Chains A and B, each alone.
Chain A
Amino acid sequence: MSLIEIKHVNKGYKLGEETVPVLKDINFTVEKGEFVAILGPSGSGKTTLMNIIGCMDVLDSGEYFLNGRAIHEMRESELTQVRNKEIGFIFQNYQLIPTYNVMQNIIMPLLMRGMIHKEAVAQCQDIVKLLGIDHRLGHRPNELSGGQKQRVSIARALASKPSILLADEPTGALDTTSGQEVLKLFCELNEMGNTIVMITHDMNVAKSAKRIVKIIDGELLAEQ
């Protein structure tokens, strides 16, 4: 059984009377332990697809199975559970909560599971060390650099030990050096057994992944 199985998925946005199709008959699978890059130009529907994989958006038609469970049939309350337990989402623009400090941001997914503060902090010690942000835990997001923010958002995604890491343009807002560091980190995480799906419009970035899937105008191209 594949970790992710997407079959004939369509998704469009309503513009007045008409529906503009964004994703057209997408078929896509990801196996456990893979590191996949979705490569495509701006406006091709990468983020839309990623939001659907991350259970943050609803699809118009088609089927989506995650770990064998039919996501397309779930209610919002069930999707909330799935997001919390199965998915580690790394946003293009970090999406950290500005009023919380670094540690509080990282442990949020664990607190939502009913864990107490102390336990959650203890569980995240290894992750913050791995990401090299252990000396920034008391800072608030606006006191961090872009690369540091991205590390915090990666740490938050890892904290809940998800089945899959989803990263939307993880290097998009970073300079080349910090971008390279993040990609190196992804390779390490993948070697440690994490399944990763990454979006990018940059071929050089995509090369870090073990498999590249191209998307143009909402259609996935056959893989080379």
Chain B
Amino acid sequence: MRMTELLRLVFMNLAQNKFKVILTSVGIVVGSATIMLVLAIGTGGKVEVAEQFKNLNAGAIDISYEVNAMEFERGMGGNRGGMSGSVGLPGGGMPSAGGMPAGDFSGGGMPDFNGGGVPGFSGDERMNQEKIVLSEDDMEDLTVFVPNISDATISYTTSSDIEGGELEEASSYSIAGVKSNYMTISNMSMAIGEFLSEENDENKEKYCVLGITAAKEIFGSVYDAYEEVIYIDSRPYVVSGVLEEMGTVASGISPDTTVFIPYSTGIKYITGDDVSPTITVIADDVDLVEQIIVDIETVLSDSYANAEFTISDAGSKMEAASKSNETLQLLLVAMAVIVFIVGGIGIMNVLFVSVKERTNEIGILKALGCSKKDILLEFLLEACFTSMLGAVLGVMVSLGITPVVESFSVRVELSVQGAVLSVVFGVITGSVFGFYPAYKASTLIPVVALNQE
């Protein structure tokens, strides 16, 4: 039969069986909408992880000294040791509050993960008797003696009361003491003004840089904050600049709500010796990270025999996060497959019934001398158009549902590929399940097909 005539028949049948076409489509609509949403949610998760880590340098390695459990008990007795932590890099620096197990990393609902903490030296009694504070000298040592390092910085976080601007009463902010190279190492950029300079640090000057949220909270706007004065522990600091918005980061530390001050200034006026700084070094090449970690241990063991440092590299954190995201996606895909199999069975039932009803028609076609090929083509095209309709409707339904899903604060990233894929899936499922019963009917000899009720 000619293709044009075949298509004419197909459209005649579809127009005559509108109700059945709709019934069949419903299954496909559900299936395609699910595929589309599952893909969109999966992609959303991926984008979220990527965003969390976008400021994280893959070659970054954080080194910190963790107060161990025995010391923790002691440390909690009044001093602020338990409170102060390290800021590291956004997303990378862990809130290493006193008693937290080394390397414990939890963010965004992802499974806990050991962030590459390398237990270097077996601890002995002596270790508990001295408090180790990483210093700028240690950082110098590392830059000099560890090869393949492009940059290094040292930082710490604490928290302190801030007054000034539009604040009606003092409120607590997290304070980060950082070096002037911190901004470039953490891929941050300024919304206005300048980041802290080397002179600020050397001269222990009271300057600060505000995260964008902090600036807005304290002064109302970025422009109002610039070159104003805030009071940290009642000492005035000039705001030399405000950072661009960075977004939230995995470990819950956001540069947006942090106040950055020069490293030495913070030690002098706020923390005293009571800090646990983190040294961050940047590897020239991500592939060298493992060797560099070994070298760091060797260099540090010269200064601190028997001390145990926590060394974590950003690369393995990212790897773990994206791995757990992949698991999530796999789960979603598995769900989609199940939906499609279940949906497919439903579709198959509807098509099976409708083709069964049309077995008589197939019998007539055969009796009149219609070739098997033409019969199959006709039914295949019908199933194809029906499922295409369903699949396209499904994509539209998923577009309609998206705002609902998003209102549960699930990230949905719709994509053209996702839409195409779900249409293709829908058409294939519909065609296969629609084709099979027609195929069965077309192999019957005419008498049998005609006599089937």
Is there contact, CB below 8 Å, between B361 and A97? yes
In the complex, what residues of A have CB within 8 A of residue B17's CB?
A: 99
Which one, B57-65, B363-371, B389-397, B430-438, is touching chain A? B363-371
B416 interface contact, C-beta 8 A: no
Contacts of B8-23 to chain A: CB distance below 8 A = 8-9, 12-13, 16-17
Is there contact, CB below 8 Å, between A56 and B447? yes
Q: In the complex, A80 Cα to B443 Cα: how many Å? A: 12
Is there contact, CB below 8 Å, between A117 and B12? no
In the complex, what residues of A have CB within 8 A of residue B361's CB?
A: 97-99
Is there contact, CB below 8 Å, between B12 and A95? no
Is there contact, CB below 8 Å, between A112 and B364? no
In the complex, what residues of A have CB within 8 A of residue B447's CB?
A: 51, 56-57
Contacts of B429-451 to chain A: CB distance below 8 A = 445-447, 450
In the complex, what residues of A have CB within 8 A of residue B16's CB?
A: 99
Is there contact, CB below 8 Å, between A97 and B2? no
Q: In the complex where A57-B445, A117-B5, A117-B8 touch, is A99 in contact with B367 (Cβ < 8 A)? A: no
B374 interface contact, C-beta 8 A: yes
Residue of A nearest to B364 (CB): A95
Total B residues in contact with A, Cβ cutoff 8 Å: 27
In the complex, what residues of B have CB within 8 A of residue A58's CB?
A: 445
Contacts of A89-112 to chain B: CB distance below 8 A = 89, 91, 95-100, 104, 108-109, 111-112
**Shortest distance in angstroms between B439's beta carbon and chain A's nearest beta carbon?**
14
Q: In the complex where A99-B17, A114-B1 touch, is A108 in contact with B368 (Cβ < 8 A)? A: yes
**Shortest distance in angstroms between B416's beta carbon and chain A's nearest beta carbon?**
37
Residue of A nearest to B13 (CB): A99
Is there contact, CB below 8 Å, between A83 and B5? no
In the complex, what residues of A have CB within 8 A of residue B364's CB?
A: 95-97
B409 interface contact, C-beta 8 A: no
A116 interface contact, C-beta 8 A: yes
In the complex, what residues of B have CB within 8 A of residue A111's CB?
A: 1-2, 5
Is there contact, CB below 8 Å, between B1 and A112? yes
Q: In the complex, A85 Cα to B368 Cα: how many Å? A: 9
B356 interface contact, C-beta 8 A: no
A188 interface contact, C-beta 8 A: no
Is there contact, CB below 8 Å, between A89 and B367? yes
Q: In the complex, A91 Cα to B451 Cα: how many Å? A: 12
Q: In the complex, A62 Cα to B240 Cα: how many Å? A: 107
B303 interface contact, C-beta 8 A: no
Contacts of B192-233 to chain A: CB distance below 8 A = none
In the complex, what residues of A have CB within 8 A of residue B366's CB?
A: 56, 80, 83
**Shortest distance in angstroms between A57's beta carbon and chain B's nearest beta carbon?**
4
B372 interface contact, C-beta 8 A: yes
Total A residues in contact with B, Cβ cutoff 8 Å: 33
B4 interface contact, C-beta 8 A: yes
Is there contact, CB below 8 Å, between A112 and B371? yes
A81 interface contact, C-beta 8 A: yes
The one of A54, A84, A89, A116 that contacts B4, using a Cβ cutoff of 8 Å: A116
Q: In the complex, A95 Cα to B9 Cα: how many Å? A: 17
**Shortest distance in angstroms between A73's beta carbon and chain B's nearest beta carbon?**
16
In the complex, what residues of A have CB within 8 A of residue B4's CB?
A: 116-117
Contacts of A68-85 to chain B: CB distance below 8 A = 76-77, 80-85
Is there contact, CB below 8 Å, between A77 and B1? no
Is there contact, CB below 8 Å, between B369 and A85? yes
Q: In the complex, A115 Cα to B372 Cα: how many Å? A: 18
In the complex, what residues of A have CB within 8 A of residue B372's CB?
A: 76-77, 80
**Shortest distance in angstroms between B328's beta carbon and chain A's nearest beta carbon?**
48
Contact bitstring A36-62, B, C-beta under 8 A = 1, else 0: 000000000000000100101110000
Is there contact, CB below 8 Å, between B371 and A56? no
Residue of B nearest to A100 (CB): B12
Is there contact, CB below 8 Å, between A83 and B445? no
A156 interface contact, C-beta 8 A: yes
In the complex, what residues of B have CB within 8 A of residue A117's CB?
A: 4-5, 8
* Residue of A76, A81, A160 with highest tally of chain B CB at under 10 A: A76
In the complex, what residues of B have CB within 8 A of residue A112's CB?
A: 1, 365, 368-371, 374
Is there contact, CB below 8 Å, between B369 and A81? yes
Residue of A nearest to B370 (CB): A112
Question: Can you give 22 A-B contacts (C-beta < 8 A)?
Answer: A51-B447, A56-B445, A56-B447, A56-B450, A57-B446, A58-B445, A76-B445, A89-B367, A89-B368, A97-B361, A97-B364, A98-B361, A99-B12, A99-B17, A104-B12, A109-B368, A112-B365, A112-B370, A114-B2, A115-B2, A116-B2, A116-B5
4 A-B pairs besides A76-B445, A99-B12 with CB distance below 8 A are: A57-B445, A80-B370, A83-B446, A112-B374
